[in-house]
Amino acid sequence: MDKKVENEMNVRLLNAIHAVIDQQIAEKNPPDTLIAYERLLDDGFTHDEAYSLIGQLVGMEIAEEIRGEGGLNMARYAAALEELPAPFAKPKRENDAD
């Protein structure tokens, strides 16, 4: 695949994932997304870092749907949101590592 096309696809995918997060936060549906976002900010993550972490989970759910391996699972997604920043990043605050 041409590198320019690949980069364009990555940008479009990132924008689509961010749009999903924006919608989930705005509509509080699921409420777990807003809760996770606010918690990550409180824990010292930037807006972009929080979106990146949540976006990892959105991407995983999309991949499950594409593969046909169970599809979107809101319980799994909510549980994973609660565990953030793990497994993708270490906590920003030392006392959160305990």
pLDDT per position as a tens digit, 17-60: 999 999 999 999 999 999 999 999 999 999 999 999 999 999 99
- What is the chain's mean pLDDT, rounded? 90
Distance CA 20, CA 23 (A): 5
Look at residue 69 in the predicted model and tell me its pLDDT. Answer: 67
Ordered by start, the domain boundaries in the chain are 3-97
* Four-residue CA torsion sign, 68, 69, 73, 77: negative
Q: Is the peptide bond before 31 cis (omega within 30 degrees of 0)?
A: no
pTM: 0.85
Inter-CA distances, 76 with 37, 39, 57, 58, 80, Å: 17, 19, 10, 11, 6
Residue 70 has pLDDT above 80, yes or no: no
DSSP tally for the chain: helices H, then strands E: 4, 0
